[in-house]
Amino acid sequence: MKNQKLVVIGAAETTSLGDIPHLSQVQLHADGALNALADAGLKISDVDGIATAGENPITIAQYLGIHPEWIDGTSVGGCSFMMHIRHSLSAITSGLCKTILITHGESGKSRIPPPEWPWPPRPGSYEGQFEAPFGTMGPPDLLTIPFLRYMEDYNITVEDLAMVPVIQREWAALNPKAWFKEPITVQDVLDSKMIAYPFTLFMCCPRTDGGGALVITTEERAKDLPGKEVYVLGAGESGETMLISQMQDFTTSRAFKTSANRAFLEAGIEREDVDHLMLYDAFAHLPIYGLEDLGFCERGEAPNFIRDRNTAPGGRLPVNTNGGGLSYMHSGMYGMYAMQESIRQVRKVAAAQVPDVKISVAHGIGGMFSASGTVIFSNQPN
């Protein structure tokens, strides 16, 4: 891996984001894919590897007209696309294929067609036997369960939690493509509809339509292409449990820590080398876990770090600069959008561009703290 550098040579989202009632989910994949290939300066016939989640990769390959020699259908939730990058690294460096297309598309709002996930689970699965009978309906009442334990152990208030969407909305206000752009206050967050105590509506992501795609190849091949190459310095992945009740410690994610540590190890960089950070935020507590489990804050310190505006516009570690899943968009599997913003930042074309970004980290969650993927991007080969 070290002698053959991998780059993202094409990156794009769907032509529009948010409310797309005229496109089906598979067409969202295709729209993002064709935009990413145009960005790279490549044609469908140049692609010999396909990776996707949420749809069968063969469905996408056939729809686009790709005859793949390498296929990755890893589908473990919203961080799957981070894992696809990591798997692409090993595939390309070992000669299994040359140019990989990673696609995402999700009709999260318009539901064309309606998704099978998340409810009901299969009645004979662990989730069906040991969660669903207790009234669990999906991420808003499952992924949120650990946070009261965190609040109790670290003496954190609901006002602290409400600061996460407040500050991310400040970033969203700088991004014309964000779904929500109006400023909000802590009181607005606390006064919004209760979803699953302690989580109110503004602490939960919207469901929108969209997609995006990435084109991965070698540095050598990218030299002749018009796309602006972004180096993948390292990546990590891990998993813990499909049952939130079996998460080892409700105040920290083992999957987050393993995935991030592996990515930093592979990249050979330190936390202080990171200029920009994307932390998958389907719900307001996830950036808190992310900051701590990735090693940017001590345990229990992330709420103070956020309140002190370190992650806000002008702060020393800008986080979720597109507005995050809470304000920018969230189709259901947000990982692709987190990476797209990291890539825009290192290419210096983001709406809320952070000055002097060299290294950006995109960190994702899959399922209910089930899985995790981390990718470290840079505009320099390191």
**Interaction site with another protein (CB under 8 A):** 120, 122-124, 126, 128-137, 140-142, 144-149, 152, 193-199, 243-246, 250
- Chain centre to alpha carbon of residue 21: 23
Residue with tokens 């407040």: 166
- Closest approach of Cβ 86 to another protein, in Å? 26
Beta strands in 25-183 (DSSP E): 49-52, 70-72, 100-107
Q: Bridge-partner residues for 276, per DSSP?
A: 360
- Closest approach of Cβ 283 to another protein, in Å? 11
| Closer to another protein by Cβ: residue 68 or 146 | 146
- Closest approach of Cβ 151 to another protein, in Å? 9
| Closer to another protein by Cβ: residue 94 or 125 | 125
Tokens linked to 95? 């000669």
| Closer to another protein by Cβ: residue 112 or 132 | 132
Q: What H or E segment, with its residue span, contains residue 209?
A: strand 209-218
Give Cβ neighbours of residue 5 (< 8 Å, ≥ 6 apart): 218, 219, 231, 381
| Closer to another protein by Cβ: residue 368 or 371 | 368
| Closer to another protein by Cβ: residue 247 or 333 | 247
Interatomic CA distance for residues 147 and 157, integer angstroms: 11
- Closest approach of Cβ 15 to another protein, in Å? 33
Interatomic CA distance for residues 25 and 112, integer angstroms: 6
Contact criterion met (CB below 8 Å) for 192 and 84: no
